[in-house]
Amino acid sequence: TRAPQSIVGIPVERRVAALYMIHATQWGESQSSIPDGTTIGHYRVVYADGSDGLIPIVYGEDVRDWWTSGVEKPVTRGKMVWTWYTARTKPDDVCLCLYLCIWHNPHPQKTVTAVDYVSTMTTAAPFCVAMTAREATPR
């Protein structure tokens, strides 16, 4: 089955100082060799006043393929934060991994109503496992 191009309207409904996303991509290395620097998607932060902001998902900067042998270059902006060997991956000395993205809100005084998740539909298929927010402190 084909993954959707976007998931729209993930509710937030609060003022946030930062968003934390745990994510990765599949088919980045093994199937198509996506070049570093390729934008494979973005998060769109929607504010209550109608404005928005984009958080790009860039291959090689934020994420790499979630199947890794450990010889790939590290990401330059995100951080690998989870690895796991399975019965399927261990014989090939390959593990699964996920990456952390931390976005510091340039407008913490504004209420974030929602986040949209959008793929650019390259051969890489980005996915988000978890997202949480650190609330902005009251003024």
pLDDT in tens, 50-77: 999 999 999 999 999 888 877 678 999 9
Number of H helices and E strands in the chain, helices first, is 0, 8
Residue 79's pLDDT band, with cuts at 50, 70 and 90, is very high
DSSP 65: B
pLDDT of residue 33: 79
pLDDT of residue 30: 58
Q: How far apart are alpha carbons 41 and 104 in whole angstroms?
A: 18
Reading the block at residue 41, the tokens are 């998607």
Under DSSP, is residue 48 helix (H, G, I), strand (E, B) or coil? coil
Q: How far apart are alpha carbons 62 and 56 in whole angstroms?
A: 9
pTM score: 0.89
The β-bridge relationship of strands 52-58 and 111-119 is: unpaired
pLDDT of residue 17: 98
Percent share of the chain, pLDDT over 90 = 68
Reading the block at residue 90, the tokens are 């261990």
Going by C-beta distance under 8 Å and a sequence separation of 6 or more, which residues neighbour residue 4? 119
Of 56, 57, 129, nearest to 96 by C-alpha is 129
